[in-house]
Amino acid sequence: MSPPVPANEDQRLTVLYSIGVLYTEHEPVFDAICRRAAEHFGAPMAAITLVDREGQWFKAECGLGIDGTPRDVAFCAYAILSDQVMVVPDARVDSRFAENPLVTGHPNIVFYAGAPLVYGENIRLGSICIIDTEPRQFTLDDEDMLTDFADEVAGELWVLASKNARVA
């Protein structure tokens, strides 16, 4: 089952493509935020994703060992539908994900929590997510902390976009 598309998809993609960070080199600041998020939550995997028309690309990843996925299997494609943190305590029993190849095969996702990267009003470019191969619960305090990490990533995206605009 493919994820729904945000109502403002064309506008969202225009912003995503205009900031000039999609499919660029990994950068230490994003790698560090990703590592800190994984460590904070004790998660074996974490990623900072950007969701484009066809897939999600990882600006940073810890423990996944891949650089992206097709959009139709991307958990983060659901996370960009709202400003709220999306929590999937056990993907194996969630009808949206139970048959997803990322659940039934590598990397064997069971738990997922993703906070959208909000870049202006109602523009969600991707997410920062933590992933585990075991079910988990996620508290409201955990959601607040993951949102703080997402805000930090969004701020760094602004900085990077500003640098790219000055170079252009």
Per-residue pLDDT of the chain (168 residues; tens, 9 = 90+): 689 999 999 999 999 999 999 999 889 999 999 999 999 999 999 999 999 999 999 999 999 999 999 999 999 999 999 999 999 999 999 999 999 999 999 999 999 999 999 998 889 999 999 999 999 999 999 999 999 999 999 999 999 888 877 655
Does the domain at residues 9-162 carry the CATH identifier 3.40.50.1970?
Answer: no
Q: What is the pLDDT of residue 164?
A: 76
| CA gap 86, 150 in Å, rounded | 12
| CA gap 44, 120 in Å, rounded | 31
Put the strands of the sheet holding 68-70 in their side by side order.
68-70, 55-62, 45-51, 124-132, 111-118, 86-88
Q: What is the pLDDT of residue 65?
A: 93
| CA gap 112, 130 in Å, rounded | 6
Contact 103, 92 (CB under 8 A): yes
pTM for this prediction: 0.94
Q: What is the pLDDT of residue 167?
A: 58
Q: Domain spans of the chain?
A: 9-162
Contact 155, 149 (CB under 8 A): no
